[in-house]
Structure 1
């Protein structure tokens, strides 16, 4: 058994490129696991830098110097963030607190719905089951409201941390955009000479991450705006809050859309009751989700590495358990990284086997010649 493991290790890690890639992966994951909280501002800045590199590159193609292009894009980005902070955030904040105050009424509306269901189908629905299910829903809603209030208080306590992010992240974004080539050159200096596999995996991950971040940003905006317009047309009271939840739900593939359906349906039930308006509201929401999954996602992520839905859900669960929100956000790129590493190792093994076959053929030809 020991000889088998030793032979396997020698076959897999006899090439310096494989060793350097393995060491880099171990160091990278170790830094994130142990110093993830410290490195969080750098991760946030890297996300925005990837997002803003697109317009910077466009200005560069027009002949504008990188420093000037970075400044123009950065100023436009800061202006947009300020506008969102002034106009969108207060509305979402106010609607959130209004929704929290009305959670008991929403729970009562659900209770009434269950009573009506029991009246219509007494033979199929037992009162004890309805009562237990209703108590569970009510407790969940009330605990959800308490959690939001606690988080709000905690956020107020951590104002200093928020201010640090507000100052540090924009500075990091600006310097990452302005000095991108210099930073990449510095990073390349510390890499070993034997880095063919690192370059291969790095190129694939750069394409994947860039496409993912840009695509997700556009998807959030498009889905959020379309949802807000539709909900406003229906006259839903918490249109801005629900549209924001629906927009950010696309960060969690498959799971997010299912989860955000519950608060949207409960708010619609509370406002419209069991009516045709509620039916058409949910139908319109499902149409938005269908168009997002079958039309918008294929258009935005045309360059993305295809991953099976089972692998995507597994990546969301695993990396989300490890690193919380950022694990969920980077679930698809991280899953693509795993795929790229496995592909690189497989190709390296095939190259080694081909080289061994060539050496054996050369040796056999030499023996036959003698």
Structure 2
């Protein structure tokens, strides 16, 4: 007997609520496992490509792990120290730059910032507060991030989880597919495929864009001699996953520092502006269309909303999960809209039910119906036996596979 759709929705709704409550209660403990699963998901296409080149799954995962360890060590040893030093130096210098900007505006445009005005007093107080509190704020932020992602979780648990999940990724996907409700399996597979296309297209494509922009901004700003250029360039590139936000924030910081450092030398100020203008032109006309593309379905406003909502609900875990959840919800929303447009609620026309099959009455000799029922039971028993045999054979083959 077929389970009603309403009852199925109730059970699946209960499952979704339990998952959300688990994420909320077990945020920090499960964070390394979520990060490990994300790393395995991103690296699975690389492992599949290495397998097609002739390597075994185990050897492909070993090669990927070795490469990831080398890259991570290079980032930790070479990039992070410079990034942290420039960030701390920029925080220490910010009050002086703010005070110089206030003095400049007050001297040339006294009507905008009168000496005893509210705005001028507020800026002066803000500069003093920044000078007194910014160091402690930076320490607190770094400490809180360290509490969320501890060194042990980052350097041990995440790589181990990613290694084992990547090793068994294809088998795990097959097992999940076997657990799908048979009635809705095609629909679930379709939605999962669309979510994968949206998520992988955005994350992998945007990651490559961030890498290219970060390299360009940081190196170019350092070559023109801009103080804190490496930190500003990396910040602008990381924030570029939201269109125009990265170039606005990074450009504002870069131009502000350039005005503070290169005042009286407009050539270098123009060079800084040209660096961001060129980066924006290349990103908008080549990198985004060619690498990310417009098919991923993650609108910037939708992404900002997801980051805000999931970050507020689940903290740092919500921020980590915001992009995949935004991709999933976007695909599900488009699917529901598609169903709505084909429903009677949208068209106003009730979809006719399929006509019932006609009842056939046939006069047969006595005992024919009982014989047919016996044969049907035998056929059903034979089908179940063959299905169990096939399942056992598949399990044996799976155990024999390396």
- On whether the aligned pair clears a TM of 0.5, the verdict is yes
Residues 106 and 113 in structure 2, CA contact (< 8 A), matched pair in contact too? no
Deviations 1:152-206 (A, max 9, x none): 45567x5993123311101111112111123223434554434433323222112
Q: Which moved more, 1:133-142 or 1:104-113?
A: 133-142
Aligned-pair distance for 1:61? 1.9
Residue from 218, 223, 228 that aligns with 2:208 = 218
Residue equivalent to 2:260:
270
Deviations 1:238-297 (A, max 9, x none): 122122212221244444443344433332232223642224413422432343244312
Residues 105 and 270 in structure 1, CA contact (< 8 A), matched pair in contact too? no
Residue equivalent to 1:105:
96
Residue equivalent to 2:311:
320
Alignment of 1:72-111 (within 5 A): 72-111=63-102
Residues 306 and 326 in structure 2, CA contact (< 8 A), matched pair in contact too? yes
Distance in 1 between the 2:242 and 2:299 partners?
15
- What are structure 2's unaligned runs of at least 5 residues? 359-402
Distance in 2 between the 1:155 and 1:335 partners?
23
Residue from 197, 201, 225 that aligns with 1:235 = 225
Q: Which moved more, 1:15-24 or 1:242-251?
A: 15-24
Residues 311 and 335 in structure 1, CA contact (< 8 A), matched pair in contact too? yes
Residue equivalent to 2:188:
198
SS at match of 1:109: helix
Residue from 159, 176, 179 that aligns with 2:168 = 179
Gap change, CA 1:303 and 1:159, over 3 Å in 2:
closer
Distance in 2 between the 1:287 and 1:20 partners?
53
Deviations 1:72-95 (A, max 9, x none): 011011111111111111111222
Distance in 2 between the 1:303 and 1:206 partners?
15
Alignment of 1:11-30 (within 5 A): 14=5, 22-30=13-21
- What are structure 1's unaligned runs of at least 5 residues? 1-12
Q: Which moved more, 1:234-243 or 1:301-310?
A: 301-310
Between structures 1 and 2, the one with greater helix share:
1
Gap change, CA 1:84 and 1:265, over 3 Å in 2:
same
Structure showing greater relative contact order (alpha-carbon pairs closer than 8 Å, 6 or more residues apart)? 1
Residues 66 and 178 in structure 1, CA contact (< 8 A), matched pair in contact too? yes
Residues 20 and 198 in structure 1, CA contact (< 8 A), matched pair in contact too? no
Aligned-pair distance for 1:68? 0.8
Larger Rg: 2
Distance in 1 between the 2:333 and 2:315 partners?
25
SS at match of 1:273: coil
Distance in 2 between the 1:170 and 1:90 partners?
22
Residue from 245, 250, 275 that aligns with 1:284 = 275
Residues 229 and 254 in structure 2, CA contact (< 8 A), matched pair in contact too? no
Residues 237 and 246 in structure 2, CA contact (< 8 A), matched pair in contact too? no
Aligned residues: 348
Distance in 1 between the 2:285 and 2:308 partners?
23
Distance in 2 between the 1:218 and 1:20 partners?
40
Residue equivalent to 1:48:
39
Residue equivalent to 1:9:
none
Distance in 2 between the 1:21 and 1:302 partners?
33
Gap change, CA 1:152 and 1:281, over 3 Å in 2:
same
Residue equivalent to 1:35:
26
Distance in 1 between the 2:142 and 2:333 partners?
43
Q: Compute the RMSD of aligned alpha carbons.
A: 3.4
Residue from 167, 182, 193 that aligns with 2:156 = 167
